[in-house]
Structure 1
Amino acid sequence: MRIDAELDPIHSERLKTLMERLKRPLPEVLAVAIDAAYGELAPEGATEDSALFEALESIGFVGCVDDDPDLSATYKTRVDFSAKSGVKA
């Protein structure tokens, strides 16, 4: 691709400085700058929060875990009470 651009004095000076410090020709310096800017972009079509996340958040959803369906009845068999203080009955 051929690029013909007019830069303001500040950016013109910055570009010259980049070329000097990187010891690279203009096309390579522009390629580095484009790659850096491209890396900052979010993937196309991405939003900060997905529609699913927003829907779950709107109903107050906290989270979920895949575990024993009877956990509410059997949780005591899985809890370690060895650090419990107090008198044992």
Structure 2
Amino acid sequence: MLKIALLLVSGMVCVALVLNLWRLIQGPDIADRILALDTMYINSIALIIIFGMYMGSPLYFEAALLIAMLGFVSTAALCKYLLRGDIIE
């Protein structure tokens, strides 16, 4: 029963990823595109965790943590670039 629920939830997360991709492509403002990119990496982390639960392997949780750290740094760098025009002062 858990496997069916995980497959159903992974399908919903995939639909959310497609909708985020649509917002990333069609976003009217650069801030909307950055927010869509941020949401896409959060959804991809959720998809990796769901896949790790499905396979029963703790290795996927470490990969999700690594993607979370890289996603946070990239979002912070993009926002700093938008505000100041440069990343390194």
TM-score range, shorter chain: under 0.3
**Normalised by the size of structure 1, how large is the TM-score?**
0.26
Structure ranking higher on relative contact order (CA contacts 8 Å, 6+ apart): 2
**Normalised by the size of structure 2, how large is the TM-score?**
0.26
Larger radius of gyration: 1
